[in-house]
Structure 1
Amino acid sequence: MQAASSPVVIVTQPGVGSGPAPQNSNWQTGLCDCFSDCGVCLCGTFCFTCLACQVASDMNECCLCGTSVAMRTLYRTRYGIPGSICDDFMVTHCCPLCSLCQIKRDINRRRANRTF
């Protein structure tokens, strides 16, 4: 007879990819910091769809995903930004323009810092 083996307990969910876990960071700008990059704010205000497609393209995703909760969650988890899917849902649905502009400003700043 063989001795019963003890069960394996998984305490963390495996991540996507084989690279190291992202470092914790924060959003580069606040949700309502539109005046920190007026160009992004104006683009989002007058051509929301264009800005959504730019964000999706920057993240190598489908243009239709640019304003989704999934896109915000993907971006946030990719860069170790604290939050939850519930937070992403509320921000995306209560203020989609601010949410989209925040992501685009963050992408622009991370590009400038060579961390995107």
Structure 2
Amino acid sequence: MTSQQPTAFVMSHTSNQWSSGIGDCCQDVPECCFSFWCFPCFACSTARKHGECLCLPLLDGFGSCVPPITLAMRVSVRNRYGIKDSICNDCLYSTFCGVCSWCQISREMNFREQNVTFINGRAK
């Protein structure tokens, strides 16, 4: 008598597009509220979640026109997950939609780093 152990099937999120738009803050209301009420804390915690220094976003104030850390984080997230977009869009979003850009970065990391696991419970 032989039996086969159930195996897990892991599905990863592999798309070359952002999982949400720049203005889709309603997809994660708690994070949207956190970013609205305490943006420096939100940006720092998002940078930390990405594996960067906790205080890195505070250096954005030293940029001239384009916030350098916000821009670098967008590019880094795009590279990490293989998202197709342009540096021009990254510059525009970082400059004119900074808070929304950080929210999009956070939503993307949350979306990409969750794994969906299906387990087949049948033994043969």
Is 1:26 matched with 2:17?
Answer: yes
Is 1:52 matched with 2:54?
Answer: no
Distance (whole Å) between structure 1 residues aligned to residue 100 and residue 94 of structure 2: 8
Tell me which residue corresponds to 1:73: 75
**SS of 1:63 mapped into structure 2:** coil
Distance (whole Å) between structure 2 residues aligned to residue 58 and residue 37 of structure 1: 16
Give the deviation of 1:58 after TM superposition.
1.1
Matches within 5 A, 1:29-44: 29-44=20-35
Query: RMSD value over aligned CA atoms?
Result: 1.7
Where in structure 1 do 4 or more consecutive aligned residues deviate above 3 Å? Answer: 64-67
**Percent sequence identity over aligned pairs:** 39
Tell me which residue corresponds to 1:102: 104
Distance (whole Å) between structure 1 residues aligned to residue 27 and residue 46 of structure 2: 18
Give the deviation of 1:38 after TM superposition.
0.2
Distance 1:37 1:24, change over 3 A: closer
* One-letter amino acid matched to 1:48: F
Distance 1:45 1:91, change over 3 A: same
Distance (whole Å) between structure 1 residues aligned to residue 15 and residue 29 of structure 2: 27
Tell me which of the two structures has the higher relative contact order, counting C-alpha pairs closer than 8 angstroms and 6 or more residues apart.
2
* One-letter amino acid matched to 1:26: Q
Give the deviation of 1:24 after TM superposition.
5.1
Q: So what's the TM-score if we normalise by structure 1?
A: 0.71
Q: Is the 8 A contact 2:25 2:32 kept in 1?
A: yes
Q: Is the 8 A contact 2:70 2:102 kept in 1?
A: no
2:89 aligned residue (56, 75, 87): 87
| Unmatched runs of 5 consecutive residues or more in structure 1 | 1-22
Distance (whole Å) between structure 1 residues aligned to residue 115 and residue 96 of structure 2: 30
Give the deviation of 1:76 after TM superposition.
0.6
Aligned residues: 92
Distance (whole Å) between structure 1 residues aligned to residue 56 and residue 75 of structure 2: 12
